[in-house]
Structure 1
């Protein structure tokens, strides 16, 4: 835990097994870097009305975190012969459904319960075009209104709006065709740009929809559901989906985990911010009113490892005195600009903190802070049209 006296004490707590007592260790520090991420530790369990949650189910309910902790053999034996319902439609849910189908086939098909469809991409199929060139270049970012942009960039984003729309429709058409989404009733109602701006894109396992077609996996849309003694009851239906095991691939409560490292309620309120805004972190690292704390790994991007390393470099340069943080007012202004961007392009997922569609623009800000040159390519056309990735930032 961290106390409220300006980050001078860090409290790890451990249990002395021999004496059966809790030991408290105190470390004096000048700066704290929190690297807890957001996809581990505290599972997100949906809330249910009384007597309609997992406690009403006569069989077992686990979170995907528990399933992931098993080795492959254990997991296969755990689901073997069971009627399994997987709740969710992101990467973990799709992978678990595939493993369940491999263990049980058509005899006990796995049901995937999802709230809404997503533009997941088939990375095992030839695209015929480069998704990176379309969405991870400076030219692609010119089509999007950016936090803190000037008048010229704002005009360009407005003028290029039809091209932005065409990009999205082209990619959507290709995904629909390759995955046969219309046949399965899985065409999302939102745009591909919103998907990438929310960092909700994941890859579809090979032959996933083949297994849907042959009956090994069943897809069931459920905006709302509850538990009953023998399975799950989808809102509006009278008969439950019977099951022996329910696996909740419903993500993690990263914000809550971050919040509860603090003893101070004031600091807890600072780090979580307003309910109608994304987590208030300057450069996705620093809470302006807790400047002696850096958070690494919370905000997402096209590659979380790559992005986290850039932030680690930024924090290292900050601690080395290469630059100083702006005033609280200026940092909060920048955070508000990013929040407005997220609300414009990611819809209801703005609290996820994603820089997926503006990773170059974001890295430019980090580079300028660290006195690195932001433009990393050789030549005008390479700079404008080639995608940016980790190798572009190997050196300063």
Structure 2
């Protein structure tokens, strides 16, 4: 098990922020975010830019604008802080996805719908809602590697369906989901409405799943790798 202390996280975040500001012209285009790098990573919302992105910005084929609101005009769009229309052939309106609403709408019962809505982490072990144990949700949570996260939950669910373990009481599961939501929102964006198991929680999440299945969560062959070698998906291959 590798322990990460707050001081290490702060140093890493600060160094990464300095590095990113150095290699990218963020200040030049007024694109320095108000949140920290660690907040971005922990929210599972880290963007990936194509190699020629800022080259396109320099040549003018990509225009960067900061604005809270906009509306369409005859020839393009108009931003609140700039009355001059921006001539635009195509506008891509990226609204994102409200996963909680999509899941809630699969139920006709308003009680079950209310169980899903209003929380970014409503599922026990990211799989089963305490009030709806007959339905399992896989792939709801985000992580640095979504496939690995879903695979671990699938193994946990297979053990549960095989009768190899029992769920805690409803009250205990609800208390656990509340703790998870508080932990995941500690560094995440306040408006983030999706469950996110970041690198700060990934190993702990896997440990809990292993304990539930009656499997030793310490997956390394001996204590030195357990202390110094990072955990990878292959460590859980033989569960």
* Same-fold call, TM cutoff 0.5: yes
Note if 1:138 corresponds to 2:2: yes
Note if 1:365 corresponds to 2:208: yes
Q: CA offsets, 1:315-372, max 9 Å, x none?
A: 1111011111110000011011111112321131442210113111111111111112
Aligned residues: 238
Runs of 4 or more, structure 1, over 3 Å off, are 378-381
Distance in 2 separating the partners of 1:228 and 1:384? 60
Aligned to 1:199: 44
Note if 1:173 corresponds to 2:18: yes
Contact 2:99 2:194 in 1 (8 A): no
Distance 1:306-1:345 versus aligned 2 partners, 3 A rule: same
Note if 1:391 corresponds to 2:234: yes
Q: CA offsets, 1:54-96, max 9 Å, x none?
A: xxxxxxxxxxxxxxxxxxxxxxxxxxxxxxxxxxxxxxxxxxx
Unaligned runs of 5+ in 1: 1-136, 144-160
Q: How does 1:215-230 map to 2 (within 5 A)?
A: 215-230=60-75
Output the TM-score relative to the length of structure 1: 0.57
Unaligned runs of 5+ in 2: none
Aligned to 1:297: 139
Instruction: State the 1:381 CA deviation.
Output: 4.1
Distance 1:198-1:257 versus aligned 2 partners, 3 A rule: same
Deviates most, 302-311 or 173-182: 173-182
Output the TM-score relative to the length of structure 2: 0.92
Contact 1:259 1:268 in 2 (8 A): yes
Larger radius of gyration: 1
Distance in 2 separating the partners of 1:181 and 1:219? 11
Distance in 2 separating the partners of 1:386 and 1:214? 45
Give the superposed CA RMSD. 1.8
Contact 1:168 1:193 in 2 (8 A): yes
Q: CA offsets, 1:126-180, max 9 Å, x none?
A: xxxxxxxxxxx8333xx3xxxxxxxxxxxxxxxxx33321111011122222223
Contact 1:301 1:354 in 2 (8 A): yes
Contact 1:223 1:235 in 2 (8 A): yes
